Structure 1
Amino acid sequence: MMSNNKFLLALFLIVTLLLAACTEGTNVEGDSSSSPDSDSNAANSGPLVIGFEADATTLLANHDVNYTTDTLIRNIYDPLIDRDPQTAEFIPVLAEEWKNVDEKTWYLKLKEGIKFQNGADFNANAVKFSIDYILDENNGSFYRSRWANVEEVVVLSDYEVEIHTSVPFPSLIQRIAEDLLIMEPGYVQEVGIEKASSEPVGTGAYTFVDWSRDNYLKLKANEDYWQGKPKIEEVEFRIIPEFSARMSAFMSGEIHLFKNIPVDSVEQFESDEVKQVSSSRINYLALSNLVDGPLKDLKVRQAINYAIDADELLETVLSGNGTRITGPLSKLNADYAETKDYRYDPELAVKLLEEAGFKPEDLSLTLDTPSGRYPMDSHIAQAIASQLQSIGINVEVRVNEWGQHLEKIQKRETGDMYILGWGPAFDAQSTIENLFTKEAPYSSFYEENIEKKIKETNQLFNQDERYAGYAELQQELVEQAAWVPLWQQADLYAVKTSLSFSPRVDEKMNVFEMAWN
């Protein structure tokens, strides 16, 4: 039976979709309008070409916690469990059913008769192999911290597995749905990790053709796909990091689809070429206390919160495309709780800095940002720097290529602050555990008592107690000024009219769901 939280989440998602709206634009770099025959190269006779903001770091499943990697490889591999593209409810894929045997045991029944793209059988051994890959410290999977409580995967039969955990793990199904993709054990063992990372084999709707790193990934339809032959024969994910370049490629007919239209350029598109959906992804300014510097001081972090006018940034830089947040979760998250808002108060910011022993002009901070990954990300970073500089703080903005940006975060090599998005996330644990614990790869904040409470809350099977625990954590993280929360992202897609495509709230681009009109 659907819980109240899940019902409300589903209802909210549907309402949000119905209320989605387009915004005005002002100007654009490059071509300001499409030519009369701009669709001529984007006809439905050739490959579908999707302009994508960054490349995958690997094509191996279960290794890299990264939206760009995950989006591309989900066309090659299948999950055991997915989410409905609109309601976010769990739906079966390779798993037929699942149940909680006790607080430390989960049972999954798998679908039969499914083949990998190389003809091997999908079965319980493939599930065990894929999870064991995450758990094996030697593999260096960035998912490992998310699965640390999994003790053992037991094969009960060819199509049944049990997952045993070391502590109660009530959110294991979320982890399976959001993280786990199934690899072909025999293939990986035969060719080795390196080749499997660049020439993957899964059970998915599309098979690998060619990958030119940072240029393109080409796939073709898996004609024997267990859910039916895909409607689109060929697809190319073309890597185009810059907003303006993606837009120019769309206007000239080189690509059919891209995400994150520059918000100041929406009016340059035909109205039926623009689709919008509210994402459950949140964007924030990390204030890292994991690197040495003044942001280890609570009052300095609070001062920065008071010195940044996030409402002005949302209105002026993003043209209102987004929903303001005051805490670590989006309003589409089932565990969302209202939190205190740090109002814009530059005078209080200066006072807090002085109480911490700093004059604003004596502070020199660094701010790392990607460019082209999130809507107007580097522009946001420059605007934040300007707001901080207006009270005397010196800020150096460092613009990173996306892969470099992630690597700097993982290695704790960023400056004092950095721009990042997180999601899509539909439950509190997937955000709070992964961004506010010491060892999680993308964390920017650690406080011993908060981490202890996170671990305790994660183990609560009682939904009311679990919700209350996460609500308290959200309040504490705001009081600790762990971030400057910015907004819940609004996703703007450019879509050629020749393509049937419906944006998902989880941002996945599953080509199997698309078709030519």
Structure 2
Amino acid sequence: MFKKNVVASFLLILVMLLAACTEGTNVDGPSKKTEGSSDSDGGDKGALIIGFEADATTLMANHDVNYTTDTLIRNIYDPLIDREGKTGDFVPVLAEEWKNIDEKTWYLKLKEGVKFHNGADFNAESVKYSIDYILNEENGSFYRSRWANVSEVVVLSDYEVEIHTSVPFPSLIQRIAEDLLIMEPGYVEEVGIEKASREPVGTGAYTFVEWSRDNHLKLKAFEGYWQGKPQINEIEFRIIPEFSARMSAFMSGEIHMFKNIPVDSVEQFDSDEVKQVSSSRINYLALSNLVDGPLKDVKVRQAINYAIDADELLETVLNGYGTRITGPLSKINADYAETKDYGYDPDLAVQLIKEAGYSPEEISLTLDTPSGRYPMDSHIAQAIASQLQSIGLNVKVQVNEWGQHLEKIQKRETGDMYILGWGPAFDGQSTIENLFTQNAPYSSFYHEDIEKEIMEVNQLFNQDERHAGYAKIQEKLVEQAAWVPLWQQADLYAVSKSLNFSPRVDEKMNVFEMSWN
């Protein structure tokens, strides 16, 4: 029989050893600032410098489904609809109003008098162009699968559009708010997609200055911005992949802000430099049945769920910074339904593996993880590997640079398992359709009957029926052990005392909302 306290003690020792090897917590690393140091008080309060974990893959709007890309370019482009930073409720931006005409038709009235950075007018043609860019298969947009049900965008007038869909598409407003940014058609057509991807033009609060790939992105305030000139004149997103390096840069005053403070380093910061919010992002261990291997067997996937003590990981590796989830959605999600918790039962895990026709020692698995993208991500991966090894499985951890990690997932080139987060995650469809259907870019799981059910529920306009449908799907995904659900992420920001910044539940860093104190 396996004893939980023995495994937990072993896991704790492992985590302590890992932490001791982490630059950010090494005794030779950065020390807590002393009073009066000239560090993160903002210097001359000229350029706001944000330490960021990874670079954008492109500066083209509507192309890459990637948090790092999206966060940077949302300072250049505006959406039609956004979410309120604390509640996640929809708020108008370039669209003043919207309504559902019928189950396949949506109407949007647009804001007048808005200018792009190059002086061109924002209008209905730019909305049509931006959506058509997603729909055009030749452009290779990773958003395309999320918009596949849109059949046509009709320009009614300079500031009115209709969006027609091939099937009922009740979640179109979610797609508009979470995906769509507005490009300037004339500029893209004039310079071409390649240049527009490097030197973008939008209607946003900041205009492009310079992009040194994997080093920095520099922007300046757009004086003609329709909501008024931004209070911060210049921005530099400085790309610093390692936690420890971002922390050092903050402590020495080189940057004013960074996200994802290492949870074992929070006490090194002054209390008024740390800001926390429960993110809409969920973290999980994907158990891929899209690649060949033993995880195609549901009993092996269920066994892995029983063999991983997620509560122990949350407590020992993340120091409790997170909220445990047991299914594919968190409680902040409008379509959340309570699901079974597998719990920790390594003996049952071994039994299921044997029922699947294996002995644990016969199974060798690869676990892909990024390093520095999510809180303690590579540490979590190593701790998971330790838990699985304790029942006899052979697990190799593969650490990837963030861009490489995403590319491997998109190309189905990961190992059997991988660490990933997903957000913002406010509604069921945006998570379930994108992560549990065969052709979605970041999916790790496919089941023919479940996919059919997903597509049927997606078309339900009746909210009670829709919610009930997603509840059944969540239950089936848990039964099929499509993932090992881990937790709803707690976002920890280090913020200069000179900067006025309130974290958003959707993790966006819209600098127009910030100011110097």
TM-score range, shorter chain: over 0.9
How many angstroms does 1:32 deviate by?
A: 1.9
- Are 2:89 and 1:89 equivalent residues in the alignment? yes
Which moves more between the two structures, 501-510 or 32-41? 32-41
How many angstroms does 1:42 deviate by?
A: 2.7
How many angstroms does 1:33 deviate by?
A: 1.2
How many angstroms does 1:40 deviate by?
A: 6.5
- Are 2:327 and 1:327 equivalent residues in the alignment? yes
The answer as to whether partners of 2:39 and 2:250 remain within 8 angstroms in 1 is no
Percent identity reads 84
The answer as to whether partners of 1:273 and 1:496 remain within 8 angstroms in 2 is yes
Moved over 6 A (4+): none
How many angstroms does 1:41 deviate by?
A: 7.1
For each residue in 1:111-158, what CA deviation from the matched residue of structure 2 results, as whole angstroms up to 9, or x when unmatched? 101000000000000000000000000000000000000000000000
3-state SS of the aligned residue for 1:354? helix
- Are 2:132 and 1:132 equivalent residues in the alignment? yes
One-letter amino acid of the structure 1 residue matched with residue 233 of structure 2: E
- CA separation in 2, counterparts of 1:460 and 1:257? 42
- CA separation in 2, counterparts of 1:98 and 1:152? 17
The answer as to whether partners of 1:53 and 1:239 remain within 8 angstroms in 2 is yes
- Are 2:513 and 1:516 equivalent residues in the alignment? no
- CA separation in 2, counterparts of 1:38 and 1:268? 17
- CA separation in 1, counterparts of 2:244 and 2:411? 30
The residue that corresponds to 1:379 in the other structure is 379
- CA separation in 2, counterparts of 1:354 and 1:169? 44
The residue that corresponds to 1:6 in the other structure is none
3-state SS of the aligned residue for 1:42? coil
- CA separation in 2, counterparts of 1:139 and 1:44? 43
How many angstroms does 1:28 deviate by?
A: 2.1
- CA separation in 2, counterparts of 1:87 and 1:189? 38
CA shift in 2, pair 1:344/1:115, >3 Å: same
How many angstroms does 1:38 deviate by?
A: 3.7
CA-based RMSD of the aligned residues comes to 1.1
The answer as to whether partners of 2:291 and 2:412 remain within 8 angstroms in 1 is yes
The residue that corresponds to 2:470 in the other structure is 470
- Are 2:61 and 1:28 equivalent residues in the alignment? no
The 5 A counterparts of 1:236-247 are 236-247=236-247
The answer as to whether partners of 2:32 and 2:269 remain within 8 angstroms in 1 is yes
The answer as to whether partners of 1:63 and 1:142 remain within 8 angstroms in 2 is yes
How many angstroms does 1:379 deviate by?
A: 0.2
CA shift in 2, pair 1:181/1:40, >3 Å: closer
The 5 A counterparts of 1:301-316 are 301-316=301-316
One-letter amino acid of the structure 2 residue matched with residue 373 of structure 1: R
The residue that corresponds to 1:13 in the other structure is none
For each residue in 1:156-199, what CA deviation from the matched residue of structure 2 results, as whole angstroms up to 9, or x when unmatched? 00000000000000000000000000000000000000000000
For each residue in 1:56-109, what CA deviation from the matched residue of structure 2 results, as whole angstroms up to 9, or x when unmatched? 000000000000000000000000000111111111000010000000000000
3-state SS of the aligned residue for 2:25? coil
- Structure 1 unaligned spans of 5+: 1-24
One-letter amino acid of the structure 2 residue matched with residue 142 of structure 1: F
- CA separation in 2, counterparts of 1:200 and 1:323? 38
How many angstroms does 1:214 deviate by?
A: 0.5
- CA separation in 2, counterparts of 1:278 and 1:40? 25
The residue that corresponds to 2:226 in the other structure is 226
- CA separation in 2, counterparts of 1:218 and 1:390? 48
The residue that corresponds to 1:260 in the other structure is 260
- CA separation in 2, counterparts of 1:240 and 1:424? 23
The residue that corresponds to 1:69 in the other structure is 69
For each residue in 1:18-60, what CA deviation from the matched residue of structure 2 results, as whole angstroms up to 9, or x when unmatched? xxxxxxx998231121244143673243210000000000000
One-letter amino acid of the structure 1 residue matched with residue 312 of structure 2: E
For each residue in 1:483-506, what CA deviation from the matched residue of structure 2 results, as whole angstroms up to 9, or x when unmatched? 000000000000000000000000
- CA separation in 1, counterparts of 2:197 and 2:273? 35
- CA separation in 2, counterparts of 1:155 and 1:465? 33
- CA separation in 2, counterparts of 1:373 and 1:126? 33
How many angstroms does 1:427 deviate by?
A: 0.3
For each residue in 1:327-372, what CA deviation from the matched residue of structure 2 results, as whole angstroms up to 9, or x when unmatched? 0001110111100001100000000000001110111100000000
The residue that corresponds to 1:340 in the other structure is 340
TM-score with structure 2 setting the length: 0.94
The residue that corresponds to 2:101 in the other structure is 101
The answer as to whether partners of 2:40 and 2:254 remain within 8 angstroms in 1 is no
- CA separation in 2, counterparts of 1:302 and 1:32? 44
- CA separation in 2, counterparts of 1:188 and 1:34? 47
How many angstroms does 1:267 deviate by?
A: 0.4
- CA separation in 2, counterparts of 1:97 and 1:464? 25
- CA separation in 2, counterparts of 1:357 and 1:295? 12
CA shift in 2, pair 1:475/1:220, >3 Å: same
- CA separation in 1, counterparts of 2:38 and 2:389? 44
The answer as to whether partners of 1:38 and 1:251 remain within 8 angstroms in 2 is no
- CA separation in 2, counterparts of 1:52 and 1:472? 38
- CA separation in 2, counterparts of 1:195 and 1:77? 16
The residue that corresponds to 2:4 in the other structure is none
- CA separation in 1, counterparts of 2:460 and 2:40? 56
One-letter amino acid of the structure 2 residue matched with residue 300 of structure 1: V
The answer as to whether partners of 1:53 and 1:240 remain within 8 angstroms in 2 is yes
- CA separation in 2, counterparts of 1:111 and 1:44? 36
- CA separation in 2, counterparts of 1:187 and 1:31? 46
The answer as to whether partners of 1:44 and 1:498 remain within 8 angstroms in 2 is no
- Structure 2 unaligned spans of 5+: 1-18
The residue that corresponds to 1:408 in the other structure is 408
The answer as to whether partners of 2:41 and 2:497 remain within 8 angstroms in 1 is no
Number of aligned residue pairs:
493
- CA separation in 2, counterparts of 1:38 and 1:414? 45
- CA separation in 2, counterparts of 1:44 and 1:124? 41
How many angstroms does 1:252 deviate by?
A: 0.3
- CA separation in 2, counterparts of 1:230 and 1:331? 35
One-letter amino acid of the structure 2 residue matched with residue 399 of structure 1: V
